[in-house]
A = this chain, B = another copy of it.
């Protein structure tokens, strides 16, 4: 395979990482891999030890006299603001950032502390960060040097942040393979409410309907239900802490959704009473569906391009060992590049369906070649979408 080109490292160490959970330890590993000196601090001696053992850095306590040039606060979000303020006090020469997933609250803590500080550059050394690289698992045990690779890293300067502090954080993002996106705190918080926090709560509210449902109904679950509820399996503790810090923007979006839902419900209840073609439910459902069509069409595809620019092969996968492997081997021999792939199966199903996105120019040929090799395809006219 092609190995990425070696990285030019812009970050000057030592970097102090406070908090050695998933993000802190992954950051340490990644910076160490780039040859940057990393110091670690954690209120839990066990977590600190684990991060040290996996090679994420060395404890700050073992390097008396060390002077970090960059401090990264990677604590739980509800204490991030306080930790940033303490770091700005403790390390008057350092740029300080944090990786909490809500940014206005942290900046607020820094600016309110700055009013009581003598150092004029106190707040200017702070720039917020939000690497978009969460996972279902937590702790240094789940850490990986490649966690940030190819992910957006939001950089959140406040009006008093110095240009050199912004540059230091942008360099950090680039050095661990992320791509920087600059937003102000309020835009950031509203953006993550939209693309992350509200979808999380809506998925949980939807999945909650399944908790007491009859098993016979769950036996009919297909890919739609699986997709819409997948993230409802996320960790309640982590999300409770994230959402507590972003209640305003989340509430505003949920209020809008709630108003749409109330209108829809009103029409459906009248239709249930008066019959399917009365009560205005046809128009109400149509409005909701069309607004959904418009919304989902705006999600950028791979590399920000237009979604669905590939043609799709739909191949039935028998449930026998090695079927998928054989399919990919066959695709390789046919020399068709797989642009994207989705596997579908439903409960009780003895066969899966692979939807394989390929170059539209190669589609018909690939379909023929796969059928010649004995695969069953779902074929149809008007393939390219």
Contacts and interface: CB of A to CB of B under 8 A. Distances in A.
Interface in A152-192: 152, 154, 179, 181, 183, 187, 190-192
A4 to B, nearest CB: 7
B209 A198 contact: yes
A382 B291 CA distance: 42
Nearest to A192: B220
Interface in A218-233: 218-222, 224-233
A146 to B, nearest CB: 5
A328 B322 contact: no
A116 interface: no
A352 B340 CA distance: 9
A34 interface: no
Contacts of A132: 220, 222, 346
A265 interface: yes
Contact of A271 (B154, B244, B295): B244
A364 interface: no
A202 B211 contact: no
Nearest to A25: B380
Counting contact residues on chain A (CB < 8 A from B), the size range is 35 or more
A380 B191 contact: no
Contact of A244 (B265, B277, B296): B277
B214 A191 contact: yes
Contacts of A245: 276
Interface string A22-65: 00000000000000000000000000000000000000000000
B349 A207 contact: no
B229 A230 contact: no
A10 interface: no
Number of copies of chain A assembled together: 2
A143 interface: yes
A239 interface: yes
A257 interface: yes
A75 B3 CA distance: 54
A101 B192 CA distance: 36
Interface stretch (A11-19, A86-94, A117-125, A281-289): A281-289
Interface string A272-313: 100011010110011011111111111111111000000000
A338 B318 contact: no
A341 interface: yes
A105 to B, nearest CB: 7
A258 interface: yes
B230 A227 contact: yes
A95 interface: no
A345 interface: yes
Contacts of A256: 209
B236 A290 contact: yes
A268 interface: yes
A187 to B, nearest CB: 6
A380 B295 contact: no
A253 B291 contact: no
Nearest to A316: B146
A211 B291 contact: yes
B257 A206 contact: yes
Contacts of A282: 240, 244
Given A137-B382, A247-B272, 15 more contacts: A132-B222, A142-B380, A151-B349, A181-B219, A194-B213, A199-B228, A203-B224, A203-B292, A205-B260, A209-B295, A229-B299, A232-B295, A243-B268, A328-B329, A341-B341
